[in-house]
């Protein structure tokens, strides 16, 4: 068993050096190995009276044979209304089961002192260990292997408001934990041996031991059932006390049996220890025989009521000769000597007859507990590994890495096809809208509005006498009642063109952004982002997948255009023929004077006919000029409208191309991210598989060792 236990300890130490659970189990296995090596039965002496526990320990240790057969340990049990600090040694590290928080001590045994020096470790601040005077834990100068500032003890916050401690080496010769040199810092475990400057303690290398001491609270009330485990704060202490082969409860019969004592006896019988002994100190029987006998009888009656009368040995021994005293112990009275010898012989015979069997039984039970802990640890590791793998890999259900890779390639291909189709449809819709805007045959088009405006223009004629000329200068310009006084035809037409075109461009970009091609540019970006939603854990910021919703129309309209001259000037031909008209009029007057009125009538008729003809000619000319101006204006500003439409359409197409380039860059970035993600994913899978294989290998080795142990 020792060989198998050492093999298990070696395996646990090698495979779980970084696991607190494995470290704890390794420490327990080391303790069990020590038990098997010594071959001693563990004899637990417990009493609510320290002198009584001390007396029994002194009685059994004074035997010549028992110390070689038993490992004696003495513990004071809390009384009914007290709270006692109980030192525990070689216990399993299980702080969550303690009744109250524990003080942590670092014990240093100086060779010049009989008792170790205990240094409390606070939960805040570090402690220096070394030979210098400024160290909180000062090592005597004779331990020359220790440095001036040799090491630091540093608290490390743990879970559930508990605290751990680690030791950090700052020395020249090194710090050793349980004979092994540490590098940097090491988290301490209960009963770790810290040696300064050398693997083993010597007259030049000091040793300290990391200890836990438990404060065990007493019951809050003396009423109620002693068997009520849920309300008994000493339950964790009972668990530690029954970790032995023989439990000896030393009772003072001058007082009734306490609930704490009753509960301990119940726990020992439930644990099926090799022996449970209740020693009654009958030193006071001569003084108080009635009380002593009554309490003993009451105890026996209680055992009977609990069906425990055959499970507990009841020796009656006067222990007063072994009480703590500065005086040397005198020779024992014959009756006392007889009882003591009988008790020692009982213990000696028990150990000799069944010691190996008892040891194997208890150690086997302890090993089973540790094996169960290891099994749970492996199960938790497997669960944690599976959970960690699921979290890090997080493949969709029923999908492996190859299937995910295939789906990703399919998604990129689909995105490319959708992008080409959508951008093509957007450009087609844009060209249709532009064509409709400048379609002269459509009443909704800008060209029709321009023609309608120019057709409604009316001529305004003005005359001006030219200096030194007999002809008038006639000026003709066009005007519309729709224009304000400060407007010209050019400003009005510019406002019409710019207003309609800028509004068209704004509306058109919104359609490009959110309508054309089944949702516009924004839908392309959003669909692309959604196309990769099936990849778990891939971080693609949605803000990057957004089209530009703004378009700067006025930047495209910052041009100067040529103004069409809508004013025409010409000479009035009627003013050039005035002399002829005056001549005709004079001849008519002469004819009248000569009695020939026909001449006057002929002259008048000729003058009026010519005047009418001249007026008709001027009207026709004005109409012709007006029509030409209207046509010229219409053609000029329709051409302007087409030019602006071309420029705006060109700028919108450039903006679409910019979005297309940005989309291409975004897809390249997405491709890089997806590629990096898949690389890390494959690494994570490989790592998880390797960890799984390693864990299965360790677990197989563990099961093989367990099989050898036949437990």
Predicted pLDDT at 232: 63
HSE toward the beta carbon, residue 88, CA cutoff 13 A: 27
pLDDT of residue 549 exceeding 60, the answer is yes
Place of tokens 């799984």: 692
Among 311-315, 419-423, 563-567, the range scoring the smallest mean pLDDT is 563-567
pLDDT-derived band at 393 (thresholds 50, 70, 90) equals: low
Reported as type and span, the H/E element at residue 22 is: helix 20-38
Query: Mean of the pLDDT values across residues 13-38?
Result: 84
Place of tokens 């099994």: 375
DSSP three-state, residue 549 = coil
pLDDT, greater one: 98 or 487: 487
pLDDT-derived band at 95 (thresholds 50, 70, 90) equals: very low
Query: Mean of the pLDDT values across residues 365-377?
Result: 87
Q: Distance of CA 433 to CAs 280, 376, 637, 646, Å?
A: 111, 73, 20, 12
Query: Mean of the pLDDT values across residues 590-617?
Result: 56
Q: Using CB atoms within 10 A of its CB, is residue 679 exposed (0-12), middle (13-18) or buried (19+)?
A: exposed
Predicted pLDDT at 141: 86
Predicted pLDDT at 395: 67
pLDDT in tens, 251-297: 999 888 888 899 999 988 888 888 899 999 998 888 889 999 999 99
**Are 27 and 93 contacting, i.e. CB atoms less than 8 angstroms apart?**
yes
Place of tokens 């939603």: 533
pLDDT-derived band at 85 (thresholds 50, 70, 90) equals: very low
| Tokens of residue 577, six digits | 């023929």
Say if pTM beats, i.e. exceeds, 0.75.
no
pLDDT-derived band at 586 (thresholds 50, 70, 90) equals: very low
End-to-end alpha-carbon separation of the chain, Å? 10
Q: In angstroms, rounded to a whole number, what is the distance separating the alpha carbons of residues 699 and 284?
A: 60
pLDDT-derived band at 412 (thresholds 50, 70, 90) equals: very high
Place of tokens 């041009």: 559
**Are 34 and 311 contacting, i.e. CB atoms less than 8 angstroms apart?**
no
Mean pLDDT of the chain: 80
pLDDT of residue 162 exceeding 70, the answer is no
Predicted pLDDT at 83: 33
Q: In angstroms, rounded to a whole number, what is the distance separating the alpha carbons of residues 699 and 374?
A: 9
Q: In angstroms, rounded to a whole number, what is the distance separating the alpha carbons of residues 203 and 145?
A: 9
Predicted pLDDT at 179: 86
Q: In angstroms, rounded to a whole number, what is the distance separating the alpha carbons of residues 384 and 262?
A: 43
pLDDT-derived band at 658 (thresholds 50, 70, 90) equals: very high
Q: In angstroms, rounded to a whole number, what is the distance separating the alpha carbons of residues 700 and 711?
A: 16
CA dihedral 80, 86, 89, 90 (to 10 degrees): 50
pLDDT of residue 422 exceeding 50, the answer is yes
CA 294 to chain centre: 67
Predicted pLDDT at 92: 29
Q: In angstroms, rounded to a whole number, what is the distance separating the alpha carbons of residues 679 and 293?
A: 83
Predicted pLDDT at 589: 43
Place of tokens 């001491």: 213
pLDDT of residue 332 exceeding 90, the answer is no
Query: Mean of the pLDDT values across residues 157-169?
Result: 73
Q: In angstroms, rounded to a whole number, what is the distance separating the alpha carbons of residues 228 and 545?
A: 66
DSSP three-state, residue 444 = coil
CA 448 to chain centre: 65
Query: Mean of the pLDDT values across residues 517-524?
Result: 90
pLDDT-derived band at 568 (thresholds 50, 70, 90) equals: low
| Tokens of residue 30, six digits | 């080391």
pLDDT in tens, 684-699: 788 878 888 888 888 8
Own/partner pairs for 346-349, CB < 8 Å, 24+ apart? 346/313, 346/315, 347/43, 347/60, 347/63, 347/66, 347/69, 347/70, 347/246, 348/63, 348/65, 348/66, 348/69
pLDDT in tens, 458-513: 888 887 776 666 677 778 888 888 887 778 888 888 888 888 888 898 999 999 99
Q: In angstroms, rounded to a whole number, what is the distance separating the alpha carbons of residues 263 and 233?
A: 11
Predicted pLDDT at 298: 93
Beta bridge partners of 187: 166
CA 92 to chain centre: 34
**Are 479 and 458 contacting, i.e. CB atoms less than 8 angstroms apart?**
yes
Strand pairing class (246-251; 275-281): parallel
Q: In angstroms, rounded to a whole number, what is the distance separating the alpha carbons of residues 116 and 109?
A: 4
pLDDT of residue 132 exceeding 60, the answer is yes
Helix axis angle for 597-709 and 489-514, nearest 10°, is 20
**Are 478 and 622 contacting, i.e. CB atoms less than 8 angstroms apart?**
no
């Amino acid at each position: 068993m020792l060989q198998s236990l050492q093999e298990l300890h070696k395996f646990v130490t090698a495979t779980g050096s970084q696991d607190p659970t494995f470290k704890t189990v390794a420490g327990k296995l080391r303790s069990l190995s020590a038990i098997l090596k010594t071959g001693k039965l563990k004899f637990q002496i417990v009493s609510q009276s320290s002198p009584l526990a001390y007396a029994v320990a002194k009685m059994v240790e004074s035997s010549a044979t028992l110390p070689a057969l038993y490992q004696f340990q003495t513990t004071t049990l809390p009384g009914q209304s007290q709270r006692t600090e109980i030192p525990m040694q070689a216990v399993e590290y299980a702080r969550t089961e303690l009744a109250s928080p524990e003080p942590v001590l670092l014990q240093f045994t100086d060779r010049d002192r009989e008792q170790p020096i205990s240094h409390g470790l606070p939960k805040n601040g570090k402690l220096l260990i070394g030979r210098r005077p400024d160290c909180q834990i000062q090592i005597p100068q004779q331990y020359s292997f220790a440095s001036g500032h040799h090491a630091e003890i540093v608290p490390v916050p743990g879970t559930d408001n508990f605290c751990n401690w680690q030791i950090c080496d700052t020395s020249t010769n090194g710090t050793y934990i349980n004979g092994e040199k540490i590098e940097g810092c090491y988290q301490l475990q209960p009963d770790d041996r810290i040696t300064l400057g050398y693997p083993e303690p010597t007259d030049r290398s000091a040793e300290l031991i990391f200890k836990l001491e438990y404060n065990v609270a007493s019951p809050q009330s003396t009423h109620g059932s002693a068997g009520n485990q849920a309300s008994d704060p000493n339950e964790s202490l009972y668990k530690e006390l029954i970790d032995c082969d023989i439990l000896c409860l030393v009772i003072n019969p001058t007082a009734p049996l306490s609930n704490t004592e009753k509960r301990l006896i119940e726990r020992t019988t439930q644990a099926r220890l090799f022996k449970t002994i209740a020693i009654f100190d009958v030193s006071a029987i001569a003084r108080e025989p009635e009380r002593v006998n009554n309490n003993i009888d009451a105890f026996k009656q209680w055992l009977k009521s609990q069906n425990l009368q055959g499970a507990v040995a009841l020796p009656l021994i006067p222990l007063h000769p072994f009480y703590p005293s500065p005086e040397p112990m005198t020779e024992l009275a014959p009756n006392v000597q007889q009882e003591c010898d009988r008790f020692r012989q009982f213990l000696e015979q028990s150990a000799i007859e069944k010691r190996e069997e008892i040891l194997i039984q208890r150690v086997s039970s302890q090993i089973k507990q540790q094996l169960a802990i290891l099994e749970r640890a492996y199960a938790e590791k497997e669960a944690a590994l599976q959970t960690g793998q699921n979290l890090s890999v997080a493949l969709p259900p029923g999908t492996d890495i190859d299937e995910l890779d295939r789906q990703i390639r399919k998604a990129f291909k689909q995105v490319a096809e959708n992008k080409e189709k959508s951008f093509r449809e957007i450009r087609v819709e844009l060209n249709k809208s532009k064509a409709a805007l400048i379609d002269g045959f459509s009443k909704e088009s800008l060209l029709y509005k321009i023609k309608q405006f120019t057709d409604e223009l009316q001529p305004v004629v003005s005359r001006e006498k030219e200096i030194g000329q007999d002809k008038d200068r006639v000026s003709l310009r066009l005007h519309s009642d729709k224009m304000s006084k400060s407007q010209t035809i050019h400003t009005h037409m510019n406002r019409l063109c710019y207003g309609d075109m800028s509004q068209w461009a704004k509306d058109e970009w919104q359609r490009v952004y959110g309508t054309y091609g089944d949702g516009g540019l924004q839908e392309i970006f959003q669909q692309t982002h959604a196309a990769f939603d099936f990849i778990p854990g891939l971080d693609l910021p949605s803000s990057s997948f957004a089209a530009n919703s703004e378009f700067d129309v006025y930047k495209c309209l910052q041009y100067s255009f040529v103004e069409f001259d809508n004013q025409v000037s010409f000479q009035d031909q009627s003013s050039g023929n005035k002399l002829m008209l005056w001549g005709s009029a004079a001849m008519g007057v002469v004819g009248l004077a000569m009695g020939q009125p026909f001449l006057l009538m002929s002259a008048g008729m000729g003058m009026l006919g010519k005047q009418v003809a001249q007026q008709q000619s001027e009207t026709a000319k004005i109409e012709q000029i007006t029509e030409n101006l209207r046509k010229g204006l219409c053609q000029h500003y329709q051409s302007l409208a087409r030019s602006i439409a071309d420029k705006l359409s060109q700028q919108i197409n450039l903006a679409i191309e910019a979005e297309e380039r940005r989309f291409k860059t975004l897809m390249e970035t997405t491709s890089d991210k997806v590629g990096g993600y898949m690389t890390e994913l494959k690494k994570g899978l490989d790592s998880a598989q390797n960890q799984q294989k390693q864990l299965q290998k360790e677990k197989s080795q563990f099961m093989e060792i367990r099989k050898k142990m036949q437990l």
